[in-house]
Copies of this chain bind each other. A is one copy, B any other.
């Protein structure tokens, strides 16, 4: 997960005899895009085509669907540009420049400041740098915290906010095998979707895009992944991993299982309800399975013993070196912060409902607007404003029946977390049970109407103060406590940043610099080779083909999620059954990399990352290439499907050109 401004050229040369040129790296970077909804993608034609995963696009597919037009179940193909469907709130980012601003950030923080002041000073200088950059370049400008706080880089992005759907397969093909096959391998999934970026109402003309390789991959081939891994925690100390194992992940899993059952139950009410809940349910199930795997790894005593042993060795070296010994306290500090985080875990007033989320953002927006830019909460600064407003005015549908169920459950959960006798809970519930109170709150809110939101955005503090919208009222009740909790958590983060900056210094001093920072949902380059693995005494081949897909369906006959869609069954005789469909490689990826292009030495697209195998689920805190593999859709498989199954020859002809 290397930074594009610090590529591992020496390793690539010594281990693989490959020397990427600056041009090679720039082309790849500028052909890569980030989906701000959470995922990666790439430009794949001069006329604006973007490739990503179906499961990255599914948020948009869901928002564009109606009871009559079920894009999730049925897929979509625009036969001409007028049929391309505009996403209601998608923002794509192309990384244009990276600048190291570590010194400027650190100089703005007083060395004697306590965590509260330090966090404030750091937030302020970051807001200033971002605002200056935005004004100067017109680009989206984000200061990114790297190495847990040892470095700060300014990332400038060109934004695309007019993004349209061109082609999506049926979920039965994209998520073939369903939850059962998720994180498994061999796989046979067409987890791909194609969109197009527009500028000024026309397809964007792109200088940088990926050419496609027409050759299937073979074992041993060197490949690269350019994408935005969301988060890793490999710098974490033993104490931090124990916090994950003992507190954080069990808590998150209880939450996810609760929401999984809730969404399932809602779906039982009918086919339309199933459709409405589906996208969220998929996301929850995906997280639940990922966290279950992470926890299993942490619960293996060998994991912690290995981590403890290397930490003990490192600490001994640090303590034994007079130049480093002042850094030794950082491990204790991390341990202390974990304890505090554990105590904060249940202190939350977040209510995960779409409309309540909007209400709280509107209330915070009005209040933050009255402050200087540098004093604002991170997402309300001038540099972030446009993205926030796009989200707040999204025309994505709001389903009141689903909101009712979600809000009632969140109120029940608030009672459980803070206690029924809590004063704030009393104010929130207003003497009613969760179901009745949720119904009352929703009946009194018009926030599903975008013009109502716009009025509150434009009207500022006066409009918020005089609003009789019930959800705005609820957000006003909770605002103060929300801010208090956020403040405490930000101070804990600041203490972690300072401690991990010291640990990074210690590691670099003892083990040498180089390497890469933990993932931060920013663009990174990973590399690896196409390679099978051993599992339970069996050798798993690195590639699969279309014949395997049809076999997999027939050997799971009668099982939900293992039926290929009608388009596939109808086209079986036309499909080249030997064509590659999926493959695995050893590249180091994590959630957020979904949709990343996989390219060969020539920078040609050969695949599309869509998953990791079950052995990769511990990659969050521990990477090995023993069994862990990244799973991709083959580039040649996508073309084969476009031509033979979806009869999208015109689209296929644009790809890579």
Complex alpha-carbon distance, A229 and B304, angstroms: 48
Copies of this protein in the complex: 2
Quick check: is A21 within 8 A (CB to CB) of the other chain?
Answer: no
In the complex, the answer to whether B431 meets A270 with C-beta atoms within 8 Å is no
The residue on B at minimum CB distance from A416 is B250
Give every chain B residue within 8 A of A416 (Cβ-Cβ): 246, 250
| Binding stretch for chain B, among A189-197, A257-265, A454-462, A503-511 | A257-265
- Residue in A179, A261, A433 with the greatest tally of chain B CB atoms within 10 Å: A261
Give every chain B residue within 8 A of A77 (Cβ-Cβ): none
Given A265-B179, A558-B271, A559-B270, A420 and B301 contact (CB-CB distance below 8 Å):
yes
Complex alpha-carbon distance, A171 and B253, angstroms: 32
Give every chain B residue within 8 A of A431 (Cβ-Cβ): 301-302
0/1 string, A389-421, CB within 8 A of B gives 1: 000000000000000000000001001100110
Query: How near does chain B come to A230, taking the closest CB pair, in angstroms?
Result: 23
A295-B412, A299-B415 provided; 5 other pairs, C-beta below 8 A? A257-B260, A260-B261, A261-B261, A299-B434, A300-B432
Query: Please, could you name 11 A-B residue pairs with CB atoms under 8 Å apart, sorted by A?
Result: A179-B265, A254-B254, A254-B258, A257-B260, A268-B561, A270-B559, A271-B558, A296-B434, A299-B420, A300-B433, A301-B420
0/1 string, A296-327, CB within 8 A of B gives 1: 11011111100000000000000000000000
Given A250-B416, A260-B261, A180 and B269 contact (CB-CB distance below 8 Å):
yes
Give every chain B residue within 8 A of A257 (Cβ-Cβ): 254, 257-258, 260-261
Quick check: is A435 within 8 A (CB to CB) of the other chain?
Answer: yes
Complex alpha-carbon distance, A299 and B246, angstroms: 28
Complex alpha-carbon distance, A113 and B257, angstroms: 46
Query: How near does chain B come to A489, taking the closest CB pair, in angstroms?
Result: 23
Complex alpha-carbon distance, A558 and B270, angstroms: 9
Give every chain B residue within 8 A of A645 (Cβ-Cβ): none
0/1 string, A175-191, CB within 8 A of B gives 1: 00011100000000000
A residues 539-559 in Cβ contact with B at 8 Å: 556, 558-559
Given A180-B269, A268-B179, A415-B299, A420 and B261 contact (CB-CB distance below 8 Å):
no
0/1 string, A475-492, CB within 8 A of B gives 1: 000000000000000000
Top 4 A-B pairs, shortest CB-CB distance: A300-B433, A180-B268, A257-B257, A250-B416
In the complex, the answer to whether A412 meets B556 with C-beta atoms within 8 Å is no
Pick the contact of A420 from B245, B297, B426 — CB < 8 Å? B245
In the complex, the answer to whether A301 meets B179 with C-beta atoms within 8 Å is no
In the complex, the answer to whether B268 meets A178 with C-beta atoms within 8 Å is yes
Query: How near does chain B come to A608, taking the closest CB pair, in angstroms?
Result: 25
Quick check: is A63 within 8 A (CB to CB) of the other chain?
Answer: no
Complex alpha-carbon distance, A299 and B410, angstroms: 12
Complex alpha-carbon distance, A178 and B179, angstroms: 21
0/1 string, A342-378, CB within 8 A of B gives 1: 0000000000000000000000000000000000000
Complex alpha-carbon distance, A432 and B419, angstroms: 37
0/1 string, A237-265, CB within 8 A of B gives 1: 00000100110001001100110110001
Complex alpha-carbon distance, A421 and B561, angstroms: 40
In the complex, the answer to whether A429 meets B261 with C-beta atoms within 8 Å is no
In the complex, the answer to whether A301 meets B433 with C-beta atoms within 8 Å is yes
In the complex, the answer to whether B415 meets A270 with C-beta atoms within 8 Å is no
In the complex, the answer to whether A296 meets B433 with C-beta atoms within 8 Å is yes
Quick check: is A341 within 8 A (CB to CB) of the other chain?
Answer: no
Quick check: is A288 within 8 A (CB to CB) of the other chain?
Answer: yes
Give every chain B residue within 8 A of A245 (Cβ-Cβ): 420
Pick the contact of A270 from B412, B429, B556 — CB < 8 Å? B556
Query: How near does chain B come to A426, taking the closest CB pair, in angstroms?
Result: 8
Give every chain B residue within 8 A of A179 (Cβ-Cβ): 265, 268
Give every chain B residue within 8 A of A420 (Cβ-Cβ): 242, 245-246, 299, 301, 304
Complex alpha-carbon distance, A268 and B246, angstroms: 28
In the complex, the answer to whether A433 meets B299 with C-beta atoms within 8 Å is yes
Complex alpha-carbon distance, A250 and B255, angstroms: 12
In the complex, the answer to whether A246 meets B559 with C-beta atoms within 8 Å is no
In the complex, the answer to whether A301 meets B269 with C-beta atoms within 8 Å is no
The residue on B at minimum CB distance from A558 is B271
The residue on B at minimum CB distance from A257 is B257
Give every chain B residue within 8 A of A268 (Cβ-Cβ): 178-180, 559-561
Give every chain B residue within 8 A of A295 (Cβ-Cβ): 412
Complex alpha-carbon distance, A253 and B262, angstroms: 12
- Residue in A295, A433, A436, A556 with the greatest tally of chain B CB atoms within 10 Å: A433
Complex alpha-carbon distance, A261 and B254, angstroms: 11
In the complex, the answer to whether B270 meets A301 with C-beta atoms within 8 Å is no
Give every chain B residue within 8 A of A271 (Cβ-Cβ): 558-559
Query: How near does chain B come to A74, taking the closest CB pair, in angstroms?
Result: 15
- Residue in A254, A295, A302 with the greatest tally of chain B CB atoms within 10 Å: A254
Query: How near does chain B come to A393, taking the closest CB pair, in angstroms?
Result: 34
Give every chain B residue within 8 A of A261 (Cβ-Cβ): 257, 260-261, 288
Complex alpha-carbon distance, A270 and B181, angstroms: 12
A residues 156-188 in Cβ contact with B at 8 Å: 178-180
Query: How near does chain B come to A263, taking the closest CB pair, in angstroms?
Result: 12
The residue on B at minimum CB distance from A433 is B300
A residues 94-121 in Cβ contact with B at 8 Å: none
Complex alpha-carbon distance, A371 and B180, angstroms: 50
Complex alpha-carbon distance, A429 and B302, angstroms: 11
Give every chain B residue within 8 A of A561 (Cβ-Cβ): 268
Give every chain B residue within 8 A of A296 (Cβ-Cβ): 412, 433-435
Give every chain B residue within 8 A of A412 (Cβ-Cβ): 295-296, 299
Complex alpha-carbon distance, A37 and B245, angstroms: 37
Complex alpha-carbon distance, A300 and B408, angstroms: 12
Complex alpha-carbon distance, A507 and B358, angstroms: 51
The residue on B at minimum CB distance from A289 is B265
